[in-house]
Structure 1
């Protein structure tokens, strides 16, 4: 057959019949690829797929809503910290947020699916249909998975707030009112570290600190009381004053110390303060408040039994060690430590070793331990970076709910959020009532109250206080290994202790040069 100019193969109709099929395949191929690309773009920028499909009104409305949501998210991330925190402590609002996240994810999925339906050609091979379905499934999963994760975090936060801050809690020292702070100039919170756990009978509060916070500025003063303080007084209008007219007293000297009040007081006089969920904390609030001349508003108790779990959940903490820290050992029975944490900078400790670091006292003083506990808290704050908190929040929240108790009512959380925002940018100072300031066995409570008032309102021309701390940040000369360290404090208004946890190479090298501590046990 010859092919000429007038043959069907060269004619308009013939040419169309010969060339049209491959052209149609190429166009179909480009349409499918374009649909997939625009569909992915529509998932990233909701509304783009609708606009590409010619649905301008629907696409414009979807895009505007998306931009508003993005703008709101940027505002929350940059300037809406207060709103986020207030929402995070409101169990009802958290439920609404969970519902909103679910609805948003559902609508986003609907936008993605509808965009693909509008864009993808109707006639496709089975292979392309399967590929299109796979792309849509991946995009839907990319939307749903973060929404489920965010909802789980929000519900975990709600459970934490509901578990720690009991809306029906009973307290002998707190009245749940709509305006908890009222006209208070200062809010005083008792911070307790309970040394309970396996092998220990009851809870002894070895850490007793009062945080006195200026309600207008957030400026905070921390007052640390030694565990062996005796004769803790109680207010004259309290029923505790009737049974302890000369201050707190137990069956023996050990049970008469400050750290025994939480356990021994309620055991001897159950129900004396009326209905309450934590009588020991109420005993301490009244007694410590009277000792310092302050009205204690709330308490927060952290039980060290769960301290190691908290540290492990954070992936460990990093601390500076300036002297041998004993692991175990009992000064009362003479049982020697099992081992020591050697001096050195930037030591990374797991939960067990971090608890040893915070508890060790054999051959050292209570004030050494108090200082290390503050350093451990600082290290926990440093370890709690946003990435760690997001990855391990559920584990951290469960641990926190197990080890923290408080009488702060849920209705006061909004006020504490506002106060916390002030404290973050305010000054924090500390007064430690160690042996250079008071005699724990025979405390002068009038003098203690005067020191507290001086610290809260520093006089213009201070006199009679101890010398300033050395310029290198140390607060006391290095003590011999195995000997109690000299207390680090200032007799008078609060001192800045920001450098207390820094590495002291002189003291550390002296400890290392002395070799293993002579009290090392097998």
Structure 2
């Protein structure tokens, strides 16, 4: 029996169409198509059960799924299939319970409602599909690998290591200065079990740096000295110097020479292996901040910037645009490299904390485009799920910082033995404090203070 035969009125047709959108099969039962209605209800319940299972059983791994292109494809296809099936049920239900042909106004209103309900289902699906496509594009652009097809819970991704060390670089270029200078260099040493992190900051103007054994050290046996006025021999020049002189890193392709040599160099300086690197171009970083809608920073004292002191960032708490944030991290006017290093850490920390899920979703397309332009890394795709899991641990763990700047270290005549000793002491202290904290962990009824980074203040 059809809807026309049963002569559903406007009110009944609208109510049944809405009800069938919320629970499949209601309209079919009203139209006395009991078998079909019950089958649709059963399918709907099974679908909801499957979705709830995914969001409960795999809730801890949802972020990991978001960085695996193969899983993104599976989830996107599943979402599209569900949306199309849902839309089909809405249309089918509408056709069964729409008002008779003689009720022109009723037909128009009920048709408008059905179209609106279909749009309500399809629009979020289209948006989610777009986000999935952009995510896949970002992953494929930034990270090398086989497409992230490794299982979510694979064997130990860190190969038995207690800590993993990431070299975080801030790259900058300027008119009249060739290439990119890594003016910000920090190694984050992360405990893979707890997420406890020690940050080792290296100044850009470190001199007499010993390059790793091989062709690089053969070219500079007494330490890196550069090759003229444009490269006086500072640590921040090693990256670009290697790109311009392939003979220093034979067998390494263009675009990877700089990171390869700098990782090896900093590994020797600190006495620990540097596993991976990530570099953020400062101009691209400004685009990321603009895409986020700005970043809120507390400035303790006014910051003057520009060669001719043409700019000023007043003291106080305010939201900085990308350009202002760039000057905040760049300026050395009335200060020095070491003050700037501290501000750069504050800026990165503020961006990480303020990039909440809603902010990311609201400006995902702009963020994705800016990220592809701003970031380069050698992290493989297969490792991304493990890195995401580790980042969640880092957020809840303590973070310590040690910067090798005067008076601890003379940048013109560094004591490499002291640097390596301080690194060992910092890591030993971090491991000891982590074990102590685990032994005295509070019970479920006790409270604990939120861990605070030693570099939590900004100037």
> What is the TM-score of this pair, normalised by structure 2?
0.86
User: What residue number does 2:185 align with?
Assistant: 208
**Cα deviation per residue 1:199-224 (whole Å; 9 max; x = unaligned)?**
64210000000011112222211111
CA distance in 2, matches of 1:461, 1:216: 14
CA distance in 1, matches of 2:49, 2:336: 55
1:337 to 309, 326, 330: 309
**Cα deviation per residue 1:274-328 (whole Å; 9 max; x = unaligned)?**
1233211111100000000011111101000212211111111111111121221
Q: Following superposition of structure 1 onto structure 2, how do residues 299-378 of structure 1 map, counting pairs within 5 Å?
A: 299-329=277-307, 336-344=308-316, 346-378=317-349
CA distance in 1, matches of 2:155, 2:52: 33
- Contact 1:430–1:497 at 8 Å: present in 2 too? no
Deviation at 1:243, TM superposition (A): 2.3
CA distance in 1, matches of 2:241, 2:303: 30
- Contact 2:286–2:325 at 8 Å: present in 1 too? yes
Deviation at 1:134, TM superposition (A): 1.3
- Contact 2:188–2:200 at 8 Å: present in 1 too? yes
Q: Closer, same or farther in 2 for the Cα pair 1:316/1:418, shift >3 Å?
A: closer
2:105 to 127, 135, 141: 127
CA distance in 2, matches of 1:307, 1:280: 20
1:183 to 160, 173, 188: 160
User: What residue number does 1:195 align with?
Assistant: 172
Residue ranges of structure 2 left out of the alignment (5+ in a row) = 148-153, 434-450
User: What residue number does 2:204 align with?
Assistant: 227
- Contact 1:232–1:288 at 8 Å: present in 2 too? no
CA distance in 2, matches of 1:51, 1:201: 74
Whether 1:247 aligns to 2:223 is: yes
User: What residue number does 1:388 align with?
Assistant: 359
Deviation at 1:76, TM superposition (A): 5.3
Deviation at 1:61, TM superposition (A): 3.8
Q: Following superposition of structure 1 onto structure 2, how do residues 435-454 of structure 1 map, counting pairs within 5 Å?
A: 435-454=406-425
Find the structure with the greater CA-based Rg.
Answer: 1
Q: Closer, same or farther in 2 for the Cα pair 1:97/1:500, shift >3 Å?
A: same
CA distance in 1, matches of 2:353, 2:33: 51
**Cα deviation per residue 1:458-514 (whole Å; 9 max; x = unaligned)?**
19999xxxxxxxxxxxxxxxxxxxxxxxxxxxxxxxxx863644478xxxxxxxxxx
**Cα deviation per residue 1:389-428 (whole Å; 9 max; x = unaligned)?**
1111011011001110011111222322332233232222
**Cα deviation per residue 1:86-136 (whole Å; 9 max; x = unaligned)?**
221111221222222211111001110111122235454233222222111
User: What residue number does 1:431 align with?
Assistant: 402
CA distance in 2, matches of 1:29, 1:246: 95
Structure with the higher fraction of residues in helix conformation: 2
2:241 to 248, 256, 264: 264
- Contact 1:234–1:247 at 8 Å: present in 2 too? yes
Q: Closer, same or farther in 2 for the Cα pair 1:56/1:303, shift >3 Å?
A: same
User: What residue number does 2:426 align with?
Assistant: 455
Q: Secondary structure at the match of 1:222?
A: strand
User: What residue number does 1:15 align with?
Assistant: none
Deviation at 1:351, TM superposition (A): 1.3
CA distance in 2, matches of 1:396, 1:461: 39
User: What residue number does 1:142 align with?
Assistant: 120
**Cα deviation per residue 1:218-277 (whole Å; 9 max; x = unaligned)?**
2211111011111222343x4322223222221247531111111123323446331233
Number of paired residues? Answer: 430
Deviation at 1:179, TM superposition (A): 6.8
Q: Secondary structure at the match of 1:201?
A: strand
CA distance in 2, matches of 1:242, 1:413: 36
CA distance in 2, matches of 1:242, 1:99: 55
Q: Closer, same or farther in 2 for the Cα pair 1:182/1:459, shift >3 Å?
A: closer
Whether 1:156 aligns to 2:134 is: yes
Residue ranges of structure 1 left out of the alignment (5+ in a row) = 1-26, 170-176, 330-335, 463-495, 505-522
User: What residue number does 1:13 align with?
Assistant: none
Which protein, 1 or 2, shows the higher relative CO under an 8 Å CA cutoff with sep ≥ 6? 2
Q: Closer, same or farther in 2 for the Cα pair 1:322/1:459, shift >3 Å?
A: closer
2:21 to 37, 43, 62: 43
Whether 1:33 aligns to 2:11 is: yes
RMSD over equivalenced CA pairs, Å: 2.8
Deviation at 1:39, TM superposition (A): 0.4
CA distance in 1, matches of 2:279, 2:357: 24
Q: Closer, same or farther in 2 for the Cα pair 1:460/1:214, shift >3 Å?
A: closer
